[in-house]
Structure 1
Amino acid sequence: MLRDLAAAAESEVALWLAHRDALLAAARTQTILDCAHDAFVSVDAGGHITGWNTAAEQLCGWSAAEVLGRPRTDLVIPARFRAACQEALARLRDGRSRLAGRHLELVMVHRAGTEFAVEMTLQRHVEHGEAAFHAFVRDITDRKAAQAAVEQDRQRLADEQSFLQTLLDSLDTGVAACDADGRLVPFNKALRDVHGAGPHSARAGQRRHAR
């Protein structure tokens, strides 16, 4: 009798210690994640949020207490993308997708309703026999704006060059110009016709010979 009681007590103590260690490990992990600059989000196989760090709170406007246990798609995915997101999650859950480990660009929505572009790195692993997903997410709004500005500048330059070439080609007089390195850069149709050169002739870019 006493031996059975001692064994039961020892088992209870072991379980309590294991539970305490698990709680301490979870607390340490959460502390590390809360120090991360990127948002961290975990979801279970059903798409319910199980992990949410401080950066995620700042990024999306929801506290951890408000989101844990709730469907991810209802909170941070714009309505028009929710069905596609659910399908992608199902493929990931079944191991039919190669998205895990890749850098993905997608759109998320803030609690206030503002949409913003993010880059996400997703990982899949199995917990207690079921798939779970962990993602680091960062706001790339500034990066996308910078890329758009560069593209606008490139397009504007291309339009200006096209306009200049069209204007030069409308002249009956041959026109040529040299850049600072002495290379022959734009010359018009009239001059090409005189020399029998095509619009992309090798004459373009040649250095001017000193007289």
Structure 2
Amino acid sequence: MTWSEHPVLSGRHVRLEPLTPEHAPGLLEAGADPGIWAWLSVRQPADLGEAETMVKNALADPDRRPWAQIDVASGRVAGTTSYYQVVAKHRILSIGHTWIGADFQRTALNTESKFLLLHNAFEDWGAQRVAWETDNRNLRSQRAIERLGALREGVLRAHRIRPDGTTRDTVLYSMTDAEWPGARARLLARLG
């Protein structure tokens, strides 16, 4: 598999499908809880037109490979996630632009989604490093990234502008190919 591919990734709990405009209605429904959007770099879509624009913008970003997260049991769109900052020459990428609907939080869906992305990055593509970035105030996201086995590297100060215009510091995490086997075993154990 090459670094230019954008495959469907399937597990027992989640199927990651390359994002298409057809996912917009499901994303609008999954994103109905305003709490989901507190730390994201985009605002909550108010209607189908805004959801379609959100999808269009994700697909137009040349630095991003977005997926829709589909709950296998119900067939519903649960949220979205992406690879971004993909640099094949250096065998590095980031995982982010991730959110899941309230109905799917604290389920195996997010853990398995990250497992599938990490497995693809390290085992299919031969990545040497996967990174995550999150708002310094988003403690829930930081704990979730740490549960994956990623290591906190530091804080990028005044790194981004939030949708409300305030300045965001970003916490940076990473996992290397040497750390993946241990993280893989722990994630598989969590998934049962």
Higher strand content, 1 or 2: 2
Higher relative contact order (CA 8 A, sep 6+): 2
TM-score range, shorter chain: under 0.3
Q: With the length of structure 1 as denominator, give the TM-score of the two structures.
A: 0.22
Larger gyration radius, structure 1 or structure 2: 1
